[in-house]
Structure 1
Amino acid sequence: MAIGRQGAAERDLDGARVAVVGATGALGSLVAAELERRGARLLVVGRHADRLAALGAGIPVVADLGDATAGDAVVAAAREHLGGLDGLVNAAGVVAFGPLVETPDEVVEELFLTNVVGPLFLLRRVLPLLEQSQGFVAQLSAVVAERPMAGMAAYSASKAALSAVDAALRTELRRSRVTVVDVRPPHTETGLAGRPLAGTAPRLPQGLAPEDVARRIVDGLAAGEVELPAEAFG
């Protein structure tokens, strides 16, 4: 298995206070379960209270990533229930397919709101807590940030923008000793491609098992890796 780029000391996740945003998604739920298995104390963040409750793990926080106040809700819950925060995993995201000229304006807007703007809103509010704990941020970008695909121009651009955020923050937060992890897995069988905002997914090769991807992400967090490119997933 290829290894991601090292950048920080190994991290003990037992007892770590971690917020997982997009925790009801196929991959987010598995990341949350893997973190809990390793002893992390969780906030699980998503838009639907019933789906959060069904996870049976962590402290639920109902919030929409596209709302600038989502970060305020995460910070308030972290302070009230956990006494702070050691990590943030952003596993939320949306996808769309089709030529750019056929992609409605509102779809382009939603792609960037959920995949880029919302995470920026969130980070502005949560980073002060992570600076206090010298914690970590892990954001799930995608392989298209490295290799943009025709028929996925807006989606590719949104994920490349998220990876750019991570690269900039890694330097910006160096003195604060906050680790920023950019995760760019290959196509994974999460079912997201079957739920696009618009268009129809092209024929894709068999994707990776989401359980394996989630485990590799958490392994990377524990190992102190700061970059998990597509090749790091084997």
Structure 2
Amino acid sequence: MDDLNGNGISGKQFLVVGATGELGSRIAGELSSRGAELTLSGRDQEKLGALAGRLGAQSIAADLTLPGGPAGIVDALDGQPLDGVVYAAGVVAFGALAELDDDTLDELLLTNFVGYARLLRAVLPRLEKGGQVVQISAVVADSPTAGMAAYSASKAALSAFGKAAALELRRSGVRVLDVRPPHTETGLATRPIDGQAPRLPQGKDPDAVARRIVDAMAAGERDLPSSSFD
């Protein structure tokens, strides 16, 4: 295993998708501080440009909910090989299953799972041997939660898809790191696409969560359940 002082990170090319989110931006910053070369993608072009400028990174604005969005990110790389991909995009919704509307269900699945599946399919030819894919799921993938049925399902689908992909990619030397952090104070729960969050316990520090994820990337870990953040 690589050590945690940037070995395995410095000088490597990483694509961070969902980079304008609170956790995605912190992961990008942590990777940059350890010497990684970054390409950042997000939906908010203004925030993306500001972050890319601060980190000295390339940027690709894209909407993952569109059928061609994920492949468009890869096409915009213009042949550049990658050592790693971080999928940190995600949205959340709250409410009873009986009140779940089609638009909310579609956006949850498209952003949290389908966009990832399409991106992974498109990016595989660009990944160098020994590269890595990091997928940010959630604790609800292991512990589905009432009032969050569709969100739980979308995160469980992402987690399962990546774990199955990891078995297929062993021969090519590409590893998949499945990250299922507990509730983290990113503010995502205050920005649901539908419903209102219940009272939640104090979440984890997002800076500490981002550092733990990048430590795991550097060390070659393949699984980060919620207990890994205690």
TM-score range, shorter chain: over 0.9
- Match for 1:21 among 17, 22, 40? 17
**How many residues align structurally?**
223
Offset from partner CA, 1:53-94 (integer Å, 9 cap, x none): 1112210111111223233333234345xx311100000000
Show the 5 A alignment for 1:71-82. 71-79=70-78
Cα distance between partner residues in 2 of 1:23 and 1:40: 14
1:78·1:85 contact (CA, 8 Å) conserved in 2?
no
Distance change (3 Å), C-alpha of 1:133 and 1:73: farther
Cα distance between partner residues in 2 of 1:99 and 1:79: 44
Residue segments in structure 2 that go unaligned for 5+ positions in a row: none
Cα distance between partner residues in 2 of 1:13 and 1:222: 6
Q: Name 2:89's counterpart in structure 1.
A: 92
Cα distance between partner residues in 1 of 2:71 and 2:106: 23
Q: Name 1:124's counterpart in structure 2.
A: 121
Offset from partner CA, 1:164-209 (integer Å, 9 cap, x none): 0111011011101101010000000000000101111011100001
Matched, 1:194 2:190: yes
Deviation at 1:48, TM superposition (A): 2.2
Show the 5 A alignment for 1:36-75. 36-55=32-51, 56-57=54-55, 58-75=57-74
Determine which structure has greater relative contact order: mean sequence separation of CA pairs < 8 Å that are 6+ residues apart, divided by chain length. Answer: 1
Cα-Cα RMSD: 1.2
Amino acid corresponding to residue 64 of structure 1 in structure 2? D
Residue segments in structure 1 that go unaligned for 5+ positions in a row: 1-8
User: What secondary structure, in the 3-state scheme, does the structure 2 residue paired with 1:170 have?
Assistant: helix
Distance change (3 Å), C-alpha of 1:71 and 1:113: closer
- Match for 1:219 among 206, 215, 220? 215
2:129·2:172 contact (CA, 8 Å) conserved in 1?
no
Alignment TM-score, normalising by the size of structure 2: 0.93
Offset from partner CA, 1:13-41 (integer Å, 9 cap, x none): 00110000000100000000000000000
Q: Name 2:160's counterpart in structure 1.
A: 164
Q: Name 1:177's counterpart in structure 2.
A: 173
User: What secondary structure, in the 3-state scheme, does the structure 1 residue paired with 2:171 have?
Assistant: coil
Alignment TM-score, normalising by the size of structure 1: 0.92
Q: Name 1:3's counterpart in structure 2.
A: none
